A and B are shown apart, each in its own frame.
With several copies, the nearest count.
Chain A
């Protein structure tokens, strides 16, 4: 079938769909076969690999699921690397000009709801909860939290005006034209947000390592940056 002529199979989180599409195009333009990309929530990707899905590369939206895969020997640990990082942003449903700090905006939002990805399950939500806790805001707001299915759904709730504030990835905030006053959370309060990638244990494709290298190479980094991802510098 057409799969023979295709590049390696890459499983990636839904939030990277557009970005990885651009990277794949760049890769193709360099004369390679186009990689096969499949996007879903990270947990679904992990379980697919656990069940022997014929994938070559997996990218997670957090380190936890990559650890989970590593514990089960489903990835080649030596190929594991971080592709990019991200930041959290606070966004508002209303366009009113607001120069106040994040803490002030959150505190003064009255009874307004605050949309996040579900902290119980989605990495972005966990990061948001941690940030609010680190800033001493969690107790104030925890009854007004609206956990959504994922970051994108949280953003939609703000866009629809159902939530007055939302905490989403910086990449999502900058892409939406119907939320306002995007303000980046200070990195010191936010756990490290990274997208690790690795080769899977049953990878067969000859170009797997080459594409993995391309994913963490300069051309890809340029695309990540353009899409609003922060470039990741390994901690010393």
Chain B
């Protein structure tokens, strides 16, 4: 399967958008996961629910909400533009934002599960050895929740690669700027007789996600070593 330059461009854009989305969301998602797993505060449940929203609402509604909030006339979008000169709508960064928002709940859940599985007695042991709460977090909780981070990153990356509804609504379908793989596939599907192109693009998606999957498995295995008890 030899790819056309246009297809390469779509792949490049999709990867750029998905990587940015996952990279930026990773620490945020971990922060939320930690808060929900380890802290008890008023509004914890609401935060949890808000994070799950993009999962429950139809993606186009999420895209529409992003437009209302982050559009140039929106409260956050207007402020971003005036303060930093940053515009998200119709830009690839906007596509990344849409992908990130859709990926967030998946990432938070996976990370939270791993953080909750960390034995707190180990954190206590670290404290007696001289670690501040932050140092204990960085050296104990964080590395022990790597499986959740990897699973979350993988889920988030796959979700970003597949994100369609919120992206097309918030960032539109602009070739070279926001037309990622799913949008290109969608465009193809709408056109009679473009089944061949659609199939090629779908296969590319599958290969990309397979690659990401294998990379994440390999990373986890490397970071884990042969740590586990066998008996």
Query: In their complex, do chains A and B touch, with some C-beta pair under 8 Å?
Result: yes
A residues with CB within 8 A of B: 2-3, 9, 11, 14-15, 17-18, 36-44, 46-48, 51-55, 64-65, 67-68, 113, 115, 118, 120-122, 145-150, 152-153, 156-157, 160-162, 172, 175-177
B72 touches A52 (CB 8 A): yes
B24 at the interface (CB under 8 A from A): no
Query: Does B17 interact with chain A (Cβ within 8 Å)?
Result: no
A36 CA / B179 CA spacing, docked (Å)? 12
Count of A-B contacts with CB under 8 A? 143
Q: How far is the CA of A48 from the CA of B166 in the complex (A)?
A: 12
The verdict on B193 contacting chain A, using a C-beta distance below 8 Å, is yes
Within 8 A of A (CB), among B182-200: 186-193
Q: Name the segment of B60-68, B145-153, B205-213 touching the other chain.
A: B60-68
A64 to B193, CA, bound (A): 10
- A162: which of B90, B165, B168, B187 is its contact (CB, 8 Å)? B90
Q: Is the CB of A121 within 8 A of B67?
A: no
CB-CB < 8 A to A176: which residues of B? 192
Kindly state the separation between the CA atoms of A121 and B173 in the bound complex, as whole angstroms. 11
- Cross-chain contact of A53 among B89, B187, B188, B191 (Cβ < 8 A): B89
Enumerate 27 A-B pairs (CB-CB under 8 Å) in ascending A order. A14-B190, A15-B190, A17-B190, A36-B174, A38-B90, A38-B172, A39-B187, A41-B190, A42-B190, A44-B63, A47-B64, A48-B169, A51-B71, A53-B90, A54-B72, A54-B87, A115-B172, A120-B187, A121-B189, A147-B173, A149-B165, A150-B190, A153-B168, A160-B71, A160-B73, A161-B71, A162-B67
B169/A162 in contact, CB under 8 A: no
The 8 A-B pairs of least Cβ separation, nearest first, read A175-B192, A121-B190, A51-B71, A52-B72, A38-B172, A52-B73, A68-B192, A121-B187
> Across the interface, which residues of A come within 8 angstroms of B71, CB to CB?
48, 51-53, 160-162
Instruction: Please tell me the size bucket of the interface on B.
Output: 20 to 34
Q: Mark B88-124, 1 if CB is under 8 A from A, else 0.
A: 0110000000000000000000000000000000000
Interface residues of B (CB under 8 A from A): 60, 63-64, 67-68, 71-74, 77, 87, 89-90, 165, 168-169, 172-178, 186-193
Interface-centre pick from A17, A18, A120 (highest chain B CB count, 10 A): A120
Is there an interface contact between A152 and B89, defined as CB atoms closer than 8 Å? no
CB distance from A114 to the nearest CB of B (A): 11
Q: Is the CB of A148 within 8 A of B172?
A: yes
Are the C-beta atoms of B176 and A2 separated by less than 8 Å?
yes
| Minimal beta-carbon separation of A23 from chain B (angstroms) | 15
A122 to B191, CA, bound (A): 8
Q: Is the pair A54, B90 in contact by a Cβ cutoff of 8 Å?
A: yes
Q: CA–CA, A61 to B92, complex, Å?
A: 26
Contact A156 B173 (CB under 8 A): no
Assess whether B174 is in contact with A38, with CB atoms less than 8 Å apart: yes
- A160 near B67 with CB under 8 A, answer yes
Q: Say yes or no: B68 contacts A160, CB within 8 Å.
A: yes
